[in-house]
Structure 1
Amino acid sequence: MSTHTPWRERLLGSLMGQLQLATYLAVFLGFTGASTAGLWLSQRSQFLSGEAELTASASSLETCLLAHNLLTAREGEAASQVHEAKAREIRQELRDHSSVRTTLWIEQSDGQLLLPTAGHLPNDPAMLHLAMAANPQRQEGSTRAISVGGQDYVTLLHRQYPSGLRLWSSAEITSVQRAQGEFLNWMIVIWGSCLVLSLAVVSHLVRRIIRPLQQLSDTSAQLTADTLTTEAVEIANAPVEVTQLARTYNDLVERLAESWNHQRQFVSAVSHELRTPLTIVQGYLHRTLKRGSNLDGVQRQGLGVAEEESLRMGRLINDLLDLSRGDSGQLQVSCKPVSMADTLQEAINLARTTTEREIQLELPDGNEGASLVALADGDRLRQVLLDLIENADKYSPEQAVIRVRLRRAGTKACVEVEDDGIGIPADELEHVFERFRRASNSSQRSGTGLGLSIVKLLVEAMEGEVSVRSELGRGSCFVVQLPLADPAQSIDAETSKP
Structure 2
Amino acid sequence: MASKSNWRSQLLGSLEGQLQLATYIAVLIGFTGATTTGLWLSNRTQIRNGEADLQANAEHLTNALMAYDYLGQGHSAKDWSPAIQLQVRQELRDHSSVRTTIWIELADGRLVLPTFGHIPIPIHMMRATMKAHRKDHTTQLINVGGQNYLTLLGRSYPTGEKVWSGALARDTGRIQNEFLGWMILVGLGSMLISLITINAMVRRIVRPLLELSERSAALTAETLNQDPIPKITTAPKEVRQLAMTYSELIERLALSWDDQRRFVSAVSHELRTPLTIVQGYLHRTIKRSKGLSDDERRGLKTAEEESIRMRMLLDDLLDLARGDSGQLQLNQEVVDLDVLVGKAADLSRSYLTDHRLKVVNKIAYDESSVALADAGRLQQVLLDLIDNAAKYSSQGSLITLLLYPHKDGIAIDVKDEGIGIPDGDLPHIFKRFYRGKNSSEISGTGLGLSVVALMISAMGGQVYVQSKEGEGSCFSIILPKPTTTSDKLS
TM-score, with length taken from structure 1: 0.92
Select which of 390, 396, 418 maps to 1:421. Answer: 418
Give the partner amino acid of 2:157. Y
Give the partner amino acid of 1:155. T
Select which of 454, 469, 479 maps to 1:472. Answer: 469
- Per the alignment, residue 204 of structure 2 pairs with 208
Give the partner amino acid of 1:25. I
2:483 is equivalent to residue 483 of structure 1: no
2:342 is equivalent to residue 341 of structure 1: no
- Per the alignment, residue 133 of structure 2 pairs with 135
- Per the alignment, residue 332 of structure 1 pairs with 329
2:166 is equivalent to residue 170 of structure 1: yes
Select which of 454, 462, 465 maps to 1:457. Answer: 454
Give the partner amino acid of 2:199. S
- Per the alignment, residue 86 of structure 1 pairs with 84
| Preserved CA contact (<8 Å) 1:151 1:174 | no
CA offsets per residue over residues 238-271 of structure 1, 9 Å max, x none? 2222222222212211111111111111111111
| Residue 20 of structure 1, CA deviation | 2.1
- Per the alignment, residue 120 of structure 1 pairs with 118
User: 2 CA distance for matches of 1:374 and 1:229?
Assistant: 34
User: 2 CA distance for matches of 1:404 and 1:123?
Assistant: 115
- Per the alignment, residue 15 of structure 1 pairs with 15
2:330 is equivalent to residue 312 of structure 1: no
CA offsets per residue over residues 405-434 of structure 1, 9 Å max, x none? 122231332222111111112111111111
Select which of 363, 366, 371 maps to 2:364. Answer: 366
1:125-274 aligned within 5 A: 125-137=123-135, 139-140=136-137, 142-233=138-229, 234-274=231-271
Give the partner amino acid of 1:380. R
- Per the alignment, residue 36 of structure 1 pairs with 36
| Residue 74 of structure 1, CA deviation | 8.8
Give the partner amino acid of 2:476. V
SS in 2 for 1:256: helix
CA offsets per residue over residues 266-310 of structure 1, 9 Å max, x none? 111111111221222222223333333444434333332222222
Give the partner amino acid of 2:461. G
| Preserved CA contact (<8 Å) 1:16 1:210 | yes
Q: Which runs of 5+ in 1 are unaligned?
A: 494-498
| Preserved CA contact (<8 Å) 2:334 2:488 | no
User: 1 CA distance for matches of 2:22 and 2:415?
Assistant: 56
User: 1 CA distance for matches of 2:211 and 2:418?
Assistant: 44
| Preserved CA contact (<8 Å) 2:456 2:462 | yes
| Residue 72 of structure 1, CA deviation | 5.1
| Residue 44 of structure 1, CA deviation | 0.9
CA offsets per residue over residues 312-371 of structure 1, 9 Å max, x none? 222111111100000101111232232222221121112112202111122216326x52
CA offsets per residue over residues 62-97 of structure 1, 9 Å max, x none? 11122112225998x874x85422221111111111
SS in 1 for 2:213: helix
Q: 1:417 to 1:221 in 2, by over 3 A?
A: same
Give the partner amino acid of 2:150. V
| Preserved CA contact (<8 Å) 2:104 2:161 | yes
Give the partner amino acid of 2:386. I
Q: Between 268-277 and 196-205, report the one with greater CA deviation.
A: 196-205
| Preserved CA contact (<8 Å) 1:373 1:490 | no
Select which of 275, 286, 307 maps to 2:283. Answer: 286
| Residue 489 of structure 1, CA deviation | 4.8
- Per the alignment, residue 5 of structure 2 pairs with 5
Q: Between 203-212 and 32-41, report the one with greater CA deviation.
A: 32-41
**CA-atom RMSD, angstroms?**
2.2
CA offsets per residue over residues 14-64 of structure 1, 9 Å max, x none? 322222222222222222222222221221111111100111111111111
SS in 1 for 2:180: helix
Q: Between 250-259 and 81-90, report the one with greater CA deviation.
A: 81-90
SS in 1 for 2:109: coil
| Preserved CA contact (<8 Å) 2:35 2:180 | no
| Residue 487 of structure 1, CA deviation | 6.2
2:107 is equivalent to residue 109 of structure 1: yes
Q: 1:491 to 1:461 in 2, by over 3 A?
A: closer
Give the partner amino acid of 1:492. L
User: 1 CA distance for matches of 2:418 and 2:319?
Assistant: 28
User: 1 CA distance for matches of 2:364 and 2:217?
Assistant: 49
Deviation above 6 Å: which 4+ runs of structure 1? none
Q: 1:491 to 1:168 in 2, by over 3 A?
A: same
SS in 2 for 1:174: coil
User: 2 CA distance for matches of 1:78 and 1:174?
Assistant: 34
Give the partner amino acid of 1:44. R
| Residue 154 of structure 1, CA deviation | 0.8
Q: 1:298 to 1:72 in 2, by over 3 A?
A: closer
State the aligned residue count. 486
Select which of 402, 406, 411 maps to 1:409. Answer: 406
- Per the alignment, residue 26 of structure 2 pairs with 26
User: 2 CA distance for matches of 1:269 and 1:51?
Assistant: 97
| Preserved CA contact (<8 Å) 2:409 2:478 | yes
User: 2 CA distance for matches of 1:432 and 1:393?
Assistant: 17
| Preserved CA contact (<8 Å) 1:347 1:382 | yes
Give the partner amino acid of 1:31. F
Give the partner amino acid of 1:237. T
SS in 1 for 2:171: helix
User: 2 CA distance for matches of 1:41 and 1:53?
Assistant: 18
TM-score, with length taken from structure 2: 0.93
